[in-house]
Amino acid sequence: MVGASRRGTSSGGWTPLIMDVDDDESVRAGVAEVVARHGGLRAVVAGAGWGLAGAAEQTPIAQAREQLETNFWGTVRVVQAAIPVMRRQGGGRLVLISFHRGNPRHPVPVVLQRQQVRPGGLRRSPVLRGRPLRH
């Protein structure tokens, strides 16, 4: 089992890998390294993300964009790198992690709330409705 992060740290139980989901080449290289070491991808869990605290009117747009880059586009990058490998090998599992509720009734940071729903919606989108992974 391999766990990827920007710092490549591990609390044990898995091999750490440095991979920054905000960087196209880092994701491609990370997936390629796992495939080279382990011969393929049996499963990929895409769950990178971070949050901003505060109301929408207090959230700087630049920070919200940075968050969207990681929380949504980072997931898209991982999907784009993993699916071709899974197609070539004839299967695999892809798990997308997102915020547990898209419209919570309790106060949470609105920017995080809206962005974390996006990866959950991605799994229902045409992005993942291509050819089946299995032949």
Dump pLDDT digits (tens) for 66-115.
Answer: 988 998 899 999 999 999 999 999 999 988 887 554 454 545 455 555 55
Q: 45: which 2 tokens?
A: 């869990």
Helices (H), 52-109: 61-68, 74-89
- Distance CA(115)–CA(47), nearest Å, equals 13
DSSP 57: G
Q: Which domains does the chain have, with CATH numbers?
A: 2-128 (3.40.50.720)
Report which of residues 113 and 42 the model is more confident about. 42
- Note the pLDDT tens digit of each residue in 19-36: 999 999 999 999 999 999
- Note the pLDDT tens digit of each residue in 7-18: 888 788 889 999
Quote the pLDDT of residue 84: 94
Residue 127: which pLDDT band, with cuts at 50, 70 and 90? very low
pTM of the shown model? 0.76
Cα Dmax for the chain:
50
Task: Answer yes or no: are the C-beta atoms of 17 and 2 closer than 8 Å.
Answer: yes
Task: Answer yes or no: are the C-beta atoms of 53 and 109 closer than 8 Å.
Answer: yes
Q: 36: which 2 tokens?
A: 């080279």
